[in-house]
Structure formats: structure tokens, C-alpha cells
Amino acid sequence: MKNRYAVLTVALILSLTVSTAFAQAPANAPAAPAPQAPAPTPPSPLALPSPIMPPPAPVDPLPPADPKYFTASTPSPDTVNAFLRVIWGFDSNRLWRVMAIQPTAAQGVSKVVVYVTTKAPDAKVSAATFYTLPDGKHAIGEGSGVVPFGATPFADVRELLKEHANGALRGAESKDLELVEFADLQCPHCKEAQPTMEQIVKDFPKAHVVFQLFPLVDIHPSAFRAAAYGVCVQQLSNDAFFKFADGVFDTQDALAPSTQETVLRAAAKRAGLDDAAIAACADTQATKDTVLAHIKLAQDAGVDQTPLLLVNGRILPLTGTITYDQIKQLIQYQATLDGVDSGATAETLAPKPVQPTLNTLPAK
């Protein structure tokens, strides 16, 4: 569910994750080269004279960078490449080259132009343009909003969540690999994402998996009340929280201001709790303040829609066109970057011919 008042900070991360179609480079940046012709197929070894000569080295499909386009003092090409390795490095088929880092009229804001392609012989070369901000920790992509930037772009959010993400827990106690799911109990997409989250918990046994409540109060009138119930349930029993959440998701269609107490109290009973006591707890100012703190944490972490999964601070969608194999690959890649053990086996990480069904409903 998308928050209509929030900026889609995930847009650049996704565009830099799953797409190779970018805006054209500006006029004062180097022009993207024409597609290279595919390399000729070498003759059969049986037709070659002895000794057999090695095939020619593959042609570099990207032109060399011209130093005259590197006129900004920051960021350095090394920093940009480190950033792109974090964003793109999971894909061994992707090739890129930083082509320009130039100052702009805004003090401290630099324009970065990157050429990107793949190793396919007929792949086209496209240009990606983004702008780095004076703090050195953020960038703005064309049409995407503000995103983390730097050699370790997710480090600050990772530390924020380590300290403040205190939702219901599954998996390991260690936070070396922390996966924080931001979800709204009235969000249909969040309901659809739960089988994916259950599979993630199984596939990554050393992950610390947190269910963090993020009610989108502007579009879901019962979400705040549901989150208040959830806070009270978790305070009594971490395990009961997941039974409660399942109960709310199962009866989500009936969740509305006129029926929310019936639905939420029934879900509390299903979790084996005193529904009257949970309802009374949800009425307290302390509980309401806790829900507000959950909302602020999501906003501070750059989360503006549900469901989203943050993997050591890296934002991943849980629904839409992304496949479960891609989710697994990105979780494991981030764990590798951070030097931590995910507990996933080679068999678990191997692509599966049949993907778990992910939600493809349009956003409401």
C-alpha cells in the first residue's frame, strides 16, 4: 500500500536493481555509444589447424571514460563505483562504467553519469544519471526521489533499526543479519506477503526477522487501532502476536471502523489472550505513543509504503514483479557485503523452477 503523502525512496533502488532502461545522458555528458555488433562465432575446433589458438578476448562494449568529464571535487569515482557495487553487484551479468562526475549550479551537488549494459552480445548501452548531495550520504535519481548514497549506503539505516526496531521477532537473536518487515495489518498486500516472509524465516535461519507495525493511517482507517492491539498483544507474548496478526489478516475484509472492535477482539481470542484486557490496553495513551513511535521509525528509515523488507538497511519490495529467487539473491548478497552468515544453504539459494506466488494486485 502506497502512502500518498510520502516520497517513493525505493524507486531508485528498484530501478538500479531490476532495470537497465535509464534516462538519456544530458547534452554536456558523453553520448551513449551505438550498440556493438556481436562478436563472430569462432569456427569449430575441428576445423582449426594445430595448435589451436585461443579465441579473441571479448570486446569491451563500453567506451573508455574521458577525464575531461570528471570536474567535481566529490564524489570520487571510487565512491561511485563502491555504491554501484552495492546496488548492482549481485548481478554478475551487468557491466557499467562511470562516465562523468560534474558540478552543478547548486553548491555541493554533483551530477553523475554512468553507462550500463549487460554481457549479452546484442545488449544496448544506456545512460543512468543521478545527483549526489552535499552531505555525501544521499543522492537523487531522475524521477525517484532521495536515496542513500556512499560506499556503504545502508549503514546508517542499519544502525537505526538495530537500535529501535522492536517489533515481534522470529529467527535468530543476533542482529548481524537483521530483516525488518514494515507492514500494516489493514493492507491487503501485507496479507499477501506473509507466505513469503514465512519462507524467508525458514531459508535464512541466522536472520533476525522483525515484524514492525507501520499503519498507513491516511488510507486505512482501522490500521492505527489494529496496530495498538498488536502492540498490546506483543507485550504479553511474542509468539501470540503472529497468531493475532494471522487472525486479523484472515478477517481483513471485515476490518472497518464500525466493525474493528469485533474483528480485533476475535483475533486476540484466537491468539489465546483476554480480548477485553487487550482492548483496554489499546485505549491507553502509552500504547498510542508506542504506535506513533513505530510510524516515526518507518519514516526515519525512508519507508513510505507497505509491505517493505529492510535487509541490514537495504530496502526490498515483497510484492509486485520481484520474484522470490530475486529476494533470496539480494538478501544473501547483502549478507555477503556485510560479512555475516545468513545460514542459508546452497540448495536453498539455488534458483527454483517454480516461484512462490507473490502479490500482483494493483496498489490501492
What is the per-residue pLDDT across 110-150, written as a single tens digit (0 to 9) for each? Answer: 999 999 999 998 899 999 999 999 999 999 987 778 999 99
Residues 99, 117 contacting (CB under 8 angstroms): no
What's the burial of 40, exposed, middle or buried (CB within 10 Å: 0-12/13-18/19+)?
exposed
- Answer whether residue 290 shows pLDDT above 70: yes
- Residue 278 CA to residue 293 CA, distance in Å, equals 19
- Range(s) for CATH 3.40.30.10 in the chain? 157-349
Residues 11, 143 contacting (CB under 8 angstroms): yes
Fold (topology level) of 157-349: Glutaredoxin (3.40.30)
Per-residue pLDDT, 145? 86
pLDDT tier, 37 (very low <50, low <70, confident <90, very high otherwise): low
Q: Minimal CA–CA distance to 307: which of 147, 126, 19, 298?
A: 298
For residues 172-180, average pLDDT: 98
For residues 21-31, average pLDDT: 49
Per-residue pLDDT, 185? 98
Query: What cell was used for 199?
Result: 519462507
**Residue pointed to by grid coordinates 545527483:** 131
Per-residue pLDDT, 49? 57
pLDDT tier, 352 (very low <50, low <70, confident <90, very high otherwise): confident
Between the CA atoms of 303, 343, 360 and 192, what dihedral angle is there, to the nearest 10 degrees?
A: -80
For 305, other C-beta atoms within 10 Å of its C-beta total 24
CA atoms within 13 A on the CB side of 4: 6
Please state whether beta strands 178-183 and 168-171 pair in parallel, antiparallel, or not at all (unpaired).
unpaired
For residues 27-49, average pLDDT: 55
What is the per-residue pLDDT across 194-224, written as a single tens digit (0 to 9) for each? Answer: 999 999 999 999 999 999 999 999 999 999 9
- Residue 170 CA to residue 48 CA, distance in Å, equals 60
Q: Minimal CA–CA distance to 203: which of 340, 337, 324?
A: 324
Residues 150, 74 contacting (CB under 8 angstroms): no
Q: Which residue stretches of 31-144 are H helix?
A: 77-88
Q: Minimal CA–CA distance to 309: which of 157, 145, 202?
A: 157
What is the per-residue pLDDT across 45-93, written as a single tens digit (0 to 9) for each? Answer: 455 555 666 777 677 899 999 999 999 999 999 999 999 999 999 999 9
Percentage of the chain surpassing pLDDT 90?
77
Query: What cell was used for 95?
Result: 557491466
- Answer whether residue 2 shows pLDDT above 70: no
Per-residue pLDDT, 28? 62
pLDDT tier, 38 (very low <50, low <70, confident <90, very high otherwise): low
For 48, other C-beta atoms within 10 Å of its C-beta total 11
- Answer whether residue 108 shows pLDDT above 90: yes
- Answer whether residue 14 shows pLDDT above 70: no
- Residue 25 CA to residue 128 CA, distance in Å, equals 7
Per-residue pLDDT, 142? 79
Per-residue pLDDT, 56? 72
pLDDT, the chain, mean: 88
pLDDT tier, 40 (very low <50, low <70, confident <90, very high otherwise): low
What is the per-residue pLDDT across 216-261, written as a single tens digit (0 to 9) for each? Answer: 999 999 999 999 999 999 999 999 999 999 999 999 999 999 999 9
